[in-house]
Structure 1
Amino acid sequence: MDLAWVRQHVRQAAGRIGFGLVDQTKLVTAASELARNTLVHGGGGQMDSTELRTGATRGLRLVFSDRGPGIPDIERALGDGYTSGGGLGLGLGGARRLVHEFSVDSTPGEGTAVTVICWTTGPPPPGREST
């Protein structure tokens, strides 16, 4: 995956969906950090993006996945002040604060998948998400 392509794709998709400039920037920043983690720590991988809609609310789901070494301690990796060095200085915890929904699925030795979702007007009520 190419980091410049990820940033461009996410910005274009977020603009097309109706995100304002500030929310586009937050999502692009989170995506850039997650893509970089996928490349540097996971040895490369992929990003899948899906446009979501529930009523008038639109969103974007991004899934960053790799087959790298995994994250042995997810809680520690999500903590403030944790860094592996060389990134935007956000880490997983910073990326998590920039989006509405965030989840990490990681198995040491098998890889990691990080899913983020941003909504145009905040998250919809539980159980209302559709694609």
Structure 2
Amino acid sequence: MAHPYHHALSSVKKWGGAVEDYLEIHSWYDQSKELIADFRHRALRHHAQGIWQSEAIFGPTITLSTGRIIPTRWVGEQHVREDLGFIPSFADWVKAIRPEPWMGRTEKIEAQVDPHMAPPIVEVA
């Protein structure tokens, strides 16, 4: 797996500037390695919605140390393409997750918490 530093070097080669201009964004994409230290960490942010999320966090553009302004999306798209070869959707990741029984277990709490669904209280005098 590429390190964020190497992704940042690739960004410098593409758009100029310095490694430090890109390192925070590339590190954000790979921060999920703290949860799982193999390629599955990518399911959290390496997809189209993750690219949009990075734009919401880092802003629509970044200003490089050279003064050049580039879209944050470009950096995210570059990162995901370098790791996966294309930009998947989140649905692409979900389709690859094998459902397990525990994932669908839910307790029916509606009658316990919704006063409109609970049986009426009958007062005995």
Using the size of structure 1 for normalisation, the TM-score is: 0.33
Which structure has more helix as a fraction of its residues?
Answer: 2
